[in-house]
């Protein structure tokens, strides 16, 4: 069925299956790392969105305390919660919207739009291809945050231990995991019955341990840009 459909699509029986799949996926995939899909000028917008999400998480945590029993020392009344949010968080500004020129490729703007909302079918890890293989590294966009982090971490460990990648080569995958950690702590930080740990905390610890072993500060992850995107930056 695939070969028949592909022959009709390409108009030839001698098509390259791998090249065709790469072509089709490229039109419906977006890089996992923000700096790989957004131009440097748009990264302050992404950081503003991250700050807004962090404040909303703090709000949610305070509101959750109103559902605790009255006897719990962390219990808050709605009035107390409102006062605490005003003191610790204040008003949450609306982050700036993205424009088409903020994305590195027009197709990514078409898939993400002004709010950078994922609508693609695949995510990609540009610059993380196997040695001697230019086939893009992609994953199914239907994976939740935890499944995505696990897949990226597995690829990271394989490249580090099997292929001996250095810090510069490994950093893009740590950037991807770093951007997932807040969502892991939000949605996957209950005690996991399979692993016996809180997966958000686990991946935060994994990230810090890898940075330590690579002798890199966490600021390297927020400053990271894909190769060729910056000028004058030397490899360590």
Structural domain includes residue 183: yes
Structural domain includes residue 199: yes
Output the CA torsion 139→158→230→108 (10° steps). 0
Structural domain includes residue 131: no
Distance in angstroms (rounded) separating the CA atoms of residues 53 and 55? 5
pLDDT at 8: 67
Structural domain includes residue 172: yes
Structural domain includes residue 114: no
Distance in angstroms (rounded) separating the CA atoms of residues 126 and 151? 15
pLDDT at 233: 40
Structural domain includes residue 231: no
Distance in angstroms (rounded) separating the CA atoms of residues 129 and 131? 6
Structural domain includes residue 63: no
Task: Give residue-wise pLDDT tens across range 110-142.
Answer: 999 999 999 999 999 999 999 888 889 999 999
Where the chain has pLDDT below 70, the residues are 2, 4, 6-10, 15, 19-21, 229-236
pLDDT at 84: 98
Structural domain includes residue 102: no
Q: How many domains does the chain have?
A: 1
**Domain span holding position 154:** 143-226
In the chain, count of helices (H) and strands (E)? 10, 3
State how far Cα 121 lies from the chain centre. Answer: 15
């Amino acid at each position: 069925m695939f070969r028949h459909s592909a022959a009709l699509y390409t108009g030839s029986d001698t098509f390259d299956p791998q090249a065709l799949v790469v072509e089709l996926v490229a039109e419906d995939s977006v890089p996992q790392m923000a700096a790989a899909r957004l131009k440097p000028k748009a990264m302050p917008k992404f950081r503003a969105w991250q700050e807004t999400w962090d404040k909303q998480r703090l709000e949610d945590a305070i509101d959750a305390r109103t559902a605790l029993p009255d006897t719990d020392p962390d219990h808050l009344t709605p009035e107390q919660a409102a006062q605490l949010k005003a003191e610790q968080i204040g008003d949450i500004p609306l982050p700036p919207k993205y424009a088409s020129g903020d994305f590195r490729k027009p197709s990514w703007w078409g898939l993400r739009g002004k709010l950078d909302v994922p609508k693609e079918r695949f995510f990609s890890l540009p610059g993380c291809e196997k040695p001697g293989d230019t086939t893009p590294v992609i994953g199914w966009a239907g994976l939740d945050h935890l499944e995505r982090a696990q897949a990226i971490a597995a690829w990271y460990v394989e490249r580090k231990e099997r292929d001996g990648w250095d810090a510069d080569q490994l950093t893009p995958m740590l950037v991807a995991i770093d951007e997932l950690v807040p969502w892991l702590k939000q949605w996957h930080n209950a005690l996991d019955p399979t692993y016996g740990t809180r997966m958000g905390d686990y991946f935060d610890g994994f990230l810090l341990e890898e940075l330590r072993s690579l002798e890199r500060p966490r600021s390297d992850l927020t400053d990271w840009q894909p190769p060729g995107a910056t000028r004058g930056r030397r490899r360590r």
